[in-house]
Chains A and B, each alone.
Chain A
Amino acid sequence: MWVKLIGCCLVIFTGTWGGFMIAARYVERPKQIRQLIGCIASLGSYINYAALPLAEALERSTATVDGPVRDFFTEIATIINTKGWVSPGQAFVETLSKMQDKLAIYHPEREIILMLGASLGAIDRNEQQKQLDLAKAELEKIHREAIVERDQNVKMYRYLGVCAGLTTAILLV
């Protein structure tokens, strides 16, 4: 009896946890996209007005954010600083694949970030600003969609997780 009870609790807990985990990614995604937009805007200022070297500009642009987005930019800056012969584009690809699990970003924003990375440092300030503005505008659009998705899905996945756990427990009993 006790074993069944404990088993049921574990199944319900696992289902709920799974649901909450999926919901958490929906919550995290717009937050991280918003942080990326902020960093890109800041990066534009450091490149355009202060003409800071890319690694330093990347580091400084994360001053107001924390978590995976900060780690992402800092890691790219470290690669550029320590292995200067690696292009920013390569550094973006390498870091993005390394931090895939920590970052709650999907294919569309991934594409935009990689495209931006490929252009960084290789063109003049005007063109650089155009690329940054373009990336920002695209991310803004995705951010709006991500908010809609979050509002639609967060509650649903949380309930779904609990319900799936309960259903499985009932079926097992």
Chain B
Amino acid sequence: MMGKINWEHTVYPVLAPKLSQLISATAARVRDQAMEIRLRINRPLLVITTGGGIFLGTDGKEAAVARTAYHCSRDDLGQTMQLISKNSLYAFEEELKMGFLTVAGGHRIGLAGQAVLYNGQIKTLKNISSLNFRLARAVPAAADIVIPYVIAGPRQIYNTLIISPPRCGKTTLLRDLTRQISNGVSGCCSGLEVGLVDERSEIAACIDGVPTADLGPRVDVLDACPKAEGLLMLIRSMAPEVIVTDEIGRAADVMALNEALHAGVKVIASVHGRDVNDIASRPYVGELINQQYFDRYIILTDRPVIGTVGEVIAGKPYKVLFRNEIGVKVCGLS
């Protein structure tokens, strides 16, 4: 499931000049396979690829051992933080509390440092010492395998929950499902009005509120909006036929999804987990499973490769519609 990354426009502009120079000097093969860039103060510059971790040397080429790799300085991380936040940390207070920021292209940047507490709650992070660039790749046609299981009729889709551990292509699949539902699937389903609550700005990769990812012609995006409030706002204000959201889990999210499902709006959501049983045993989100709100469960796995569709399961009655043992299906490579 490896799409292209626009390095010049989405990654280099948010890296400190030195790091940007090193990564642009690295082999195209490494960039093509890159999944993460990990920066840590006084630690080697590490690029995680589909083939494993690669240390980058002072010339941008692969370093044989960590000792000979380029070691990121405090300035490198400081400058990178300034570029990511556009010198405006105040505009990312909530994101800092959650420990990540999202930049153009939908790349999520994880942060680690020193937590500042106020009344026992995390107020912000200071002395950021580690950054993890999780690179997002748009994969057109990523949802081709699962879309027949999601469509219920000419203007109908099933309530669908995508279950996946981190880094298995959940957001990529959700993005392409949104695009295909908004465009319509020829011969199966005409385009539907989609409301997207993109709390982490990863699905639509909005810049100044405008999506940069191709989501088709019928999508309204609530960018950086908490899911619970966003879902209800969209239902009230934009009259969507389908609502899409990422990574549900909190009690408020589940209550809002309940509202949407009862309002007759179809829902496509994702959740971190291994399988349906795993999710069913969780607080809050487990209620949705136990009460059979979802018609379809799509389970993703990274074995043998990222984006593999493990299973597609019908919710009521519970029935496995597809299992990867029959033949491995990889999103985007069908």
- Decide if A51 touches B87 in the complex (CB within 8 Å): no
Partner of A121, one of B17, B87, B93, B123: B87
Q: Which of A52-60, A61-69, A105-113, A153-161 is near enough to bind chain B?
A: A52-60
Residues of B within 8 A of A54 (CB): 86-88
Residues of A within 8 A of B83 (CB): 84-85
Which residue of chain A is the closest to B76 with respect to CB atoms? A85
A47 proximal to B (CB < 8 A): yes
Give the contact-size bracket for chain B.
10 to 19
- Decide if B90 touches A51 in the complex (CB within 8 Å): yes
Majority SS of interface residues in chain A?
loop
Residues of A within 8 A of B16 (CB): 85
Residues of B within 8 A of A57 (CB): 88
A18-B90 Cα distance, complex, nearest whole Å: 46
A86-B86 Cα distance, complex, nearest whole Å: 10
Partner of B124, one of A85, A120, A124: A124
Which residue of chain A is the closest to B87 with respect to CB atoms? A121
Q: Per-residue CB proximity of B71-101 to A under 8 Å, as 1/0?
A: 0000000010011011111110100000000
Interface-centre pick from B16, B79, B89, B123 (highest chain A CB count, 10 A): B89
- Decide if B93 touches A80 in the complex (CB within 8 Å): no
A87 proximal to B (CB < 8 A): yes
- Decide if B79 touches A85 in the complex (CB within 8 Å): yes
A165 proximal to B (CB < 8 A): no
Partner of A51, one of B13, B79, B82, B91: B91
Partner of B90, one of A47, A84, A86, A87: A47
Q: Which chain B residues (210-268) contact chain A, with CB distance < 8 Å?
A: none
A122 proximal to B (CB < 8 A): yes
Partner of B93, one of A55, A88, A120, A125: A125
- Decide if A123 touches B90 in the complex (CB within 8 Å): yes
A14 proximal to B (CB < 8 A): no
A94-B86 Cα distance, complex, nearest whole Å: 18
Majority SS of interface residues in chain B?
helix
- Decide if B91 touches A80 in the complex (CB within 8 Å): no
A54-B90 Cα distance, complex, nearest whole Å: 9
Partner of A53, one of B13, B17, B86, B124: B86
Residues of B within 8 A of A87 (CB): 82, 87
Query: A135 → chain B, closest Cβ, in Å?
Result: 15
Which residue of chain A is the closest to B97 with respect to CB atoms? A124
Query: A94 → chain B, closest Cβ, in Å?
Result: 14
A95 proximal to B (CB < 8 A): no
A124-B124 Cα distance, complex, nearest whole Å: 8
Residues of A within 8 A of B93 (CB): 124-125
Which residue of chain A is the closest to B93 with respect to CB atoms? A124
Residues of A within 8 A of B17 (CB): 85
- Decide if A128 touches B90 in the complex (CB within 8 Å): yes
Known: A84-B83, A85-B17, A85-B82. A121 touches B88 (CB 8 A): yes
A122-B87 Cα distance, complex, nearest whole Å: 7
- Decide if A121 touches B79 in the complex (CB within 8 Å): no
Query: A5 → chain B, closest Cβ, in Å?
Result: 60
- Decide if A122 touches B86 in the complex (CB within 8 Å): no
A166-B16 Cα distance, complex, nearest whole Å: 61
A125-B83 Cα distance, complex, nearest whole Å: 18
A53-B92 Cα distance, complex, nearest whole Å: 10
A121-B16 Cα distance, complex, nearest whole Å: 17
Which residue of chain A is the closest to B15 with respect to CB atoms? A85
Residues of B within 8 A of A88 (CB): 87
Query: A129 → chain B, closest Cβ, in Å?
Result: 9
Residues of A within 8 A of B87 (CB): 53-55, 80, 84, 87-88, 120-121
The 9 closest A-B pairs by CB, nearest first: A85-B79, A121-B87, A53-B86, A51-B91, A84-B83, A54-B88, A125-B90, A53-B88, A54-B87
For this complex, 25 residue pairs linking A to B, each with C-beta atoms less than 8 Å apart, are A47-B90, A51-B90, A51-B91, A52-B91, A53-B87, A54-B87, A55-B87, A57-B88, A80-B86, A84-B13, A84-B82, A84-B83, A85-B16, A85-B17, A85-B82, A87-B82, A88-B87, A120-B87, A121-B85, A121-B89, A123-B89, A123-B90, A124-B89, A124-B123, A124-B124
Residues of A within 8 A of B (CB): 47, 51-55, 57, 80, 84-88, 120-125, 128
Residues of B within 8 A of A (CB): 13, 16-17, 79, 82-83, 85-91, 93, 123-124
